[in-house]
Amino acid sequence: MIIRILTITVAISIVLSPFMVFSQEDEKIEARVNDAILTTSELNNMLKPVYRQYEQTSRGEELRVRMLSARRSAIDGWIDNQLILQEARGLEGFQVDQMEIDKRFEKALSGFESREAFDRALRMQGLDEAEYRKNLEDQYMVQALRYQKVGGFINISPEDIMNYYENHDDKYRDGEMVRVSHILLPIPDDNGEDESVRQQAEKILEDLKTGSDFAELARKYSRGPRAEQGGDLGYYKKDQMRPKLDEAAFSLEVGENSEIIKTDLGYHIIKCTGKKEAYQKPLEDHWEEIEDLLFQEEYQRRYDIWIEELRSRAYIDS
C-alpha cells in the first residue's frame, strides 16, 4: 500500500507563490522512497513560508533561482527524513516517548492565541490533531535515531580542541590596531582648483607643526567623516583603509601627524591617537566554540556515511 506522508508547517501562509500556482492536473509524485511518496501539493505546502520570505527580498531571475534551489533542497531533505523514518520503523524495540510528544504538542499550541486558532491553522493544512501528533512522532523518531546512530558516538577530547586551536591560531588572534583622526579636503570636480586645495592642506599641516590642536582644525576644515568629533575615526586593523592611508597610519607613533596624503577622495592628514598590540585570544575563551565546531564537523561526516548506506538499500526516485 502506498503511504502518503503529510508534512506540516505550523506557520501558515495563505497565498501560494505566483511561480507555484498549480491546478489539479499538475498534481504528481515529486519523490518516492520505497512505498512513501511526496506529492506536488505536499511539497508546495512545505515551501510556502520559504517562498513568501524570498518574495520579500528577491525579484526576477534571482527569485526563480532561489525558489528552484529551495525546492531541490526540500525534496532532498524529505528523502533523507524518509530513509531515517523507515529505518526507525523497522527496528525492533524502537519506541516513541509519548511524554515528549505531549510536550512538543503543548509547545506548538502555546504559539497560538487560542486552541481554536491552532485548530484553524491545522485545518488550513488539511490536518487534524491526530495527524499532527503523528507528524510530531515522525519527527521524534528521525531525531532519536539520528542521535542513536550518529550523534551519540561522538566524543570531542580536550586534545582535539587544543590541536585545533594550535593549528588555527591565526583565527584566534587580533592583529595590531591603530586609532586614527583624520582631516579630509576633497578635490572639486574642476581640476583647476586642485592647487588651491593643496595649498590649504599645506597651511593646515604647518599649523599642526607649530602646535595647533588637530581636533580643532578637523572641526574647522575637514569635510570627511566625523569632522564634528574632531576627525576621530576610531580603531582600524590593517587593510581596512585605503592603501596610502593604511601605510601611513601604521607607521606613525602615537601623537604623531602624517604628511599630506593624496587619494582619489582628496588631500588627507591623519594623526595616530592610539595603538593596540596584536593579541592572542586565550583558548579558554573559545573552548566551547571549538568543541561545538568539531562536533558538527564530525557529526556531518558520520551522518553522510550513514545516509549513503541507507540510500544504497532503498528505492529512491525524484
The pLDDT tens digits of the residues spanning 158-217 come to: 999 999 999 998 889 888 999 999 999 998 866 556 888 999 999 999 999 999 999 999
Q: Is residue 309 part of a domain?
A: no
Q: Is residue 293 part of a domain?
A: no
Q: Is residue 46 part of a domain?
A: yes
Encoded amino acid at 159, one letter = E
For 40-56, letters b (16+ CB in 10 Å) and e give eebbbbbbbebbeebbe
What pLDDT score does 13 carry? 32
CB 182 within 8 A of CB 225: yes
User: Is there a single domain that holds both residue 108 and residue 236?
Assistant: no
CATH (domain of 92): 1.10.4030.10
Angle formed at CA 94 by CA 88 and CA 99, multiple of 5 degrees: 110
User: Is there a single domain that holds both residue 180 and residue 117?
Assistant: no
* pLDDT < 70 stretches in the chain: 1-25, 189-193
Q: Is residue 291 part of a domain?
A: no
User: Is there a single domain that holds both residue 185 and residue 108?
Assistant: no
Q: Is residue 256 part of a domain?
A: yes
Q: Is residue 171 part of a domain?
A: no
Cα dihedral 202→206→211→217 (10° resolution): -20
User: Is there a single domain that holds both residue 132 and residue 219?
Assistant: no
User: Is there a single domain that holds both residue 18 and residue 136?
Assistant: yes
What pLDDT score does 228 carry? 93
User: Is there a single domain that holds both residue 180 and residue 239?
Assistant: yes
Long-range contacts of 26-30 (CB under 8 A, 24+ apart): 30/75, 30/318
Question: What are the C-alpha distances in Å from 139 to residues 31, 153, 160, 198?
Answer: 19, 21, 32, 70
Q: Is residue 163 part of a domain?
A: no
User: Is there a single domain that holds both residue 7 and residue 144?
Assistant: yes
User: Is there a single domain that holds both residue 264 and residue 220?
Assistant: yes
User: Is there a single domain that holds both residue 116 and residue 186?
Assistant: no
DSSP string covering 198-209: HHHHHHHHHHHH
User: Is there a single domain that holds both residue 13 and residue 109?
Assistant: yes
Model pTM?
A: 0.62
Residue labelled with grid coordinates 506557520: 11
Residue labelled with grid coordinates 532503498: 314
Domain that holds residue 87: 3-149
What pLDDT score does 125 carry? 76
End position of a domain, from candidates 86, 114, 149: 149
What span, in angstroms and rounded, lies between the C-alpha atoms of 163 and 207? 55
Angle formed at CA 267 by CA 265 and CA 271, multiple of 5 degrees: 110
What span, in angstroms and rounded, lies between the C-alpha atoms of 33 and 2? 11
End position of a domain, from candidates 149, 166, 201: 149
User: Is there a single domain that holds both residue 61 and residue 124?
Assistant: yes
What span, in angstroms and rounded, lies between the C-alpha atoms of 307 and 303? 6
Other residues' Cβ atoms within 10 Å of the Cβ of residue 212: 14
Using the Cα atoms of residue 149, residue 80, residue 62 and residue 41 in order, give the sign of their dihedral.
negative
User: Is there a single domain that holds both residue 15 and residue 144?
Assistant: yes
What pLDDT score does 192 carry? 56
CATH (domain of 203): 3.10.50.40
Q: Is residue 92 part of a domain?
A: yes
**What's the structural domain count of the chain?**
2
Taking each helix axis from N to C end, the angle separating 60-89 and 40-57, rounded to the nearest 10 degrees, works out to: 140
Q: Which three cell numbers, joined as nine digits, stand for 215?
A: 581636533
What pLDDT score does 223 carry? 93
